[in-house]
Amino acid sequence: MWGFIISGCVLYAGARLSQPIVPNYSYAMESGPAPANTQAIAAGPFKGLVSDYNILSVFTMYDHIKKKPLSQAQRKLAWQQLSSYLHNAQHLDPWFNDTYRLTVGLLAFQKGLALDAVQILNMGSDYIDWDWKLPFYAGFIAYDRLNDQKMAYEFMQEAISRPNVPPLAIGLTSHFLQKEKGHEASMMFLEYLLQTMPKAYHDPIKQRIERLKSQPDSNMRRQ
């Protein structure tokens, strides 16, 4: 009897150890997220947990984008999927701060995804109506990445009308609205973002700062 049990244990351990612990493919990357409404229905009363899962998928996707050699098309698809995961997380739990921090840190400075970032922040801003940060971030992205002064003005006006807005935000808003000081204000705001984001997510913001430093003020919003 003991022979059966011990040989079974040895075989089982051997079989387990001979398989790779981390598979060579990523589920998150292969399939992409299910649509937000489908996820909400499947989640039932576990909406919070499914929202957390979407944020975990964002980490996985970002890790793949950074570390795996991807073709241009694969990279573009990966960024689009990462954006979809953030949209889903926002849809399932609109009060989850990680969604908005990652949106600002990752999507905002990615080519072609700034509008997605503004959309996510705008939707979150409706729910988190006591915080000035989300409309301010949306306004900054609209100003810096989309070059849409009108949209930026509307978001920043909304931000400074909210309670507990710090003098820094009011000062930056007035600077953004004066063309000649916009460049300097952008740099200040990006430095502020760096202080609030973990080191692992500094790269896109640092790249943006470098680009701003290396280019003349008049051209900076075209990049």
Partner 1 sequence: MSSIFETMRFTALEIIRMRVFHVLIAGAFLLPIMALIFSNLFLFDIAKVQADVLISGARILASVYILFIAVTLLGKDISQKICHLFLAPPLSRFSYLTGRFLGLLFGLFLLMLVVMLTSEASLLLMFNPDGENGRNALPWYTGLSLAGFTFYQHISLLAAVLLICTWASGLAEMLVFSVAILLISWVVPPIILALQSPDITSQFPTLITTLIETIGMILPRLNGGNIGLALAHGFPLSFSNIAWHLVEHAAYAFVMFGLAQLVFSRRDL
> Where along the sequence are the contacts to partner 1 (CB under 8 A)?
37, 40-49, 51-52, 55-56, 59, 93, 95-98, 101-102, 196, 198
Q: Cα separation of 188 and 108, whole Å? A: 16
Q: Note whether 169 and 161 are within 8 A (CB).
A: no
Q: Note whether 179 and 203 are within 8 A (CB).
A: no
| Closer Cβ to partner 1, 11 or 56, answer by number | 56
CB of 44 to partner 1, least distance (A): 3
Q: Encode burial over 7-29: b for 16+ CB neighbours within 10 A, e otherwise.
A: eeeeeeeeeeeeeeeeeeebebb
| Closer Cβ to partner 1, 23 or 44, answer by number | 44
**DSSP class of 142:** H
CB of 97 to partner 1, least distance (A): 5
CB of 100 to partner 1, least distance (A): 9
| Closer Cβ to partner 1, 93 or 148, answer by number | 93
CB of 105 to partner 1, least distance (A): 9
| Closer Cβ to partner 1, 47 or 75, answer by number | 47
Q: Cα separation of 117 and 112, whole Å? A: 10
